[in-house]
Chains A and B, each alone.
Chain A
């Protein structure tokens, strides 16, 4: 099986480790991974801030970059939701076709590759925050949790109020920074109350926000992308 990795601009520039983990994980499961270098940003920040016209060239670029791939995989629920939900209305038939071939990582693993136990080993106490776009726009449901539950050495603790937004929201985080921070601080308080040492999510933008608060508050917890946990094995522990 061959799949193109849509790494997303945030992962490319700020969290390359998530992209690397995704490549290793998929290859370990026998998927041949390609990285079309013509890719860049999916256009979500522009679109969600009200700049639809400015989004159009990025939709065209992304659509062309992934032409010809049967599967496009991305370790970002929110960018997958952008492609799946908004590309058909912005970019016409080609973009709609891309939308139907684009998968968020956990969807791809569970629905296409057909695994929930990816052979990972991660000896930590983990709590999972389901980001809003993955949760509500993609309907990821139990997939991420099932994947985590199958990780050896991992103890999964339920996050109180898990389905509440962490307050990132793209440009919301700066346009309404006070409310955004208040939401994030509440999320962090809930997460820390679980006693977990890792907060796991499937969207690095939300994790950047949550992690930024964890770091500012010197909380005894770190934020980590799900892909990096799933990539971790006994032979090659991630961290």
Chain B
């Protein structure tokens, strides 16, 4: 690999591989730019966007501050409505609970609504180990599952695939999972959608157990909410006899009225729609209507630890809209897989290391996978200051030391000492300038820099020398007219290439 500075292999290595894939880069660029432009238009339609954003932030912060109270209220409401609430401390516990609930029905197949929480805990794999097949019914999730692939985007998990690739996956793999795709399937979107529709319909009508996540849970009523575009979610939520919803504890809102804010900000931020096509709400069970058994599995899996961090906890405000992914220049180039998590992009870079800890190489590399450009913060509908959290997590990682960071810390301390002693700094600058032809690449990270960029040629003298000579006490007001040439005309920004 080409010089990653002081060894931060995980994200940089994965990103480099993605950068070499021209098809992937083309797919990502086209998709993210299309969504971001549409989102900007949809948001611009609302005069009160800033207020909605602030309201969303406040509602979420208030809820997180009193999470204990609202979770108990939610449990009471769900129970009163005929549901059963289960508490899971971590992924393994959540998976065990769900597997037991499915086994109790005697079924070996379940249909699933797209859910980040179940991806996060690896539910499909855990169910498979218990002999239970979990079928994804969201179109993009279906593409990922059939392709034996991993999701690479929160909202559009198959964003890294183009039409041709999807046609091939459908043609080659659908038959092994259920109704096969036509042999002569084209890559026209309507044909692809029809193949998926017929394949999925067979599964919806057969399934006795449905598994979902939820975008929101309303504490006061015990109502769960899923917003979606395809209608597959509504089929999964209403057709099976048993519904199991697996939801992160941070998805709660206190009251029904709070939804008014998020049902405006979420669709506009994610799909650039004024309103999502399907909003499904379910509250416990009702005789003769929908599932006769309803289980809610509330998942912690690192969330209370995240909540304990004053700066980092704002990541729990996330409503999974993915607007930050679509504007992120790093995500656009590196792709979602490079983040090594179901939560890619800027939000993934702050969420994954908090939920999973910073023990692994990939988690320790994620907070550095950003240029801190701030575009993610600008679009976030609940105003998560992602750059602030990134820097905060970098502190934690740098503090811990470890691979690469000891050397880095020594370099930072040394340079800090020099910067705190301007006379030494001035002498160093002068020495560097005088010997500038000899060692232009001898700066920290020089190799990583010069792989693709020329280094600046140092000037003949630093600014402070010019100042002393031309504006210092004695010479004040007597500017040396030859000054500019003293500074080295062609230095480092490509001057000289234009003339």
Question: When the two chains form their complex, are residues A212 and B391 in contact, meaning their CB atoms are under 8 A apart?
Answer: no
Question: When the two chains form their complex, are residues B5 and A14 in contact, meaning their CB atoms are under 8 A apart?
Answer: no
Chain B 9-27 interface residues, beta-carbon cutoff 8 Å to A: 11-12, 15-16, 19
Question: When the two chains form their complex, are residues A177 and B371 in contact, meaning their CB atoms are under 8 A apart?
Answer: no
Question: When the two chains form their complex, are residues B471 and A136 in contact, meaning their CB atoms are under 8 A apart?
Answer: no
A65 to chain B, nearest CB (A): 9
Task: Classify the secondary structure of A's interface with B.
Answer: helix
Given contacts A37-B422, A182-B333, contact A222 B464 (CB under 8 A): no
Question: When the two chains form their complex, are residues B448 and A177 in contact, meaning their CB atoms are under 8 A apart?
Answer: yes
A213 to chain B, nearest CB (A): 5
**A19 to B, closest residue via Cβ:** B463
Residues of A within 8 A of B448 (CB): 173-175, 177
Given contacts A13-B432, A137-B374, A182-B19, contact A174 B419 (CB under 8 A): no
Question: When the two chains form their complex, are residues A132 and B373 in contact, meaning their CB atoms are under 8 A apart?
Answer: yes
Question: When the two chains form their complex, are residues A40 and B497 in contact, meaning their CB atoms are under 8 A apart?
Answer: no
A239 touches B (CB below 8 Å): yes
**A133 to B, closest residue via Cβ:** B374
Question: When the two chains form their complex, are residues A184 and B374 in contact, meaning their CB atoms are under 8 A apart?
Answer: no
Question: When the two chains form their complex, are residues A38 and B12 in contact, meaning their CB atoms are under 8 A apart?
Answer: no
Question: When the two chains form their complex, are residues A221 and B368 in contact, meaning their CB atoms are under 8 A apart?
Answer: no
B329 to chain A, nearest CB (A): 5
Cross-chain pair count, CB within 8 angstroms? 258
The size of the chain A interface, using a CB distance under 8 A, is 80
Question: When the two chains form their complex, are residues A132 and B454 in contact, meaning their CB atoms are under 8 A apart?
Answer: no
Question: When the two chains form their complex, are residues B463 and A11 in contact, meaning their CB atoms are under 8 A apart?
Answer: yes
Contact of B456 among A14, A61, A167 (CB under 8 A): A14
Question: When the two chains form their complex, are residues A20 and B487 in contact, meaning their CB atoms are under 8 A apart?
Answer: yes
Given contacts A37-B422, A182-B333, A239-B489, 18 further A-B contacts (CB under 8 A): A7-B463, A16-B463, A17-B491, A54-B413, A57-B420, A61-B420, A136-B377, A136-B378, A173-B448, A177-B3, A177-B449, A185-B452, A211-B493, A215-B492, A216-B453, A219-B497, A222-B494, A222-B498
Q: Which residues of B contact A (CB under 8 A)?
A: 2-6, 8, 11-12, 15-16, 19, 329-330, 333-334, 367-375, 377-378, 391, 393-399, 408-409, 412-413, 415-416, 419-420, 422, 425, 429, 432, 444-445, 448-449, 451-456, 458-459, 461-467, 471, 483-484, 487, 489, 491-498
Q: Which residues of A contact B (CB under 8 A)?
A: 7, 9, 11-17, 19-20, 23, 33, 35, 37-41, 43, 46-52, 54-55, 57-58, 61, 132-133, 136-137, 163-165, 167-185, 197-198, 204, 207-216, 218-224, 238-239
Closest 10 CB pairs of A and B: A211-B493, A169-B371, A50-B394, A174-B445, A212-B453, A165-B373, A214-B494, A181-B452, A223-B493, A50-B398
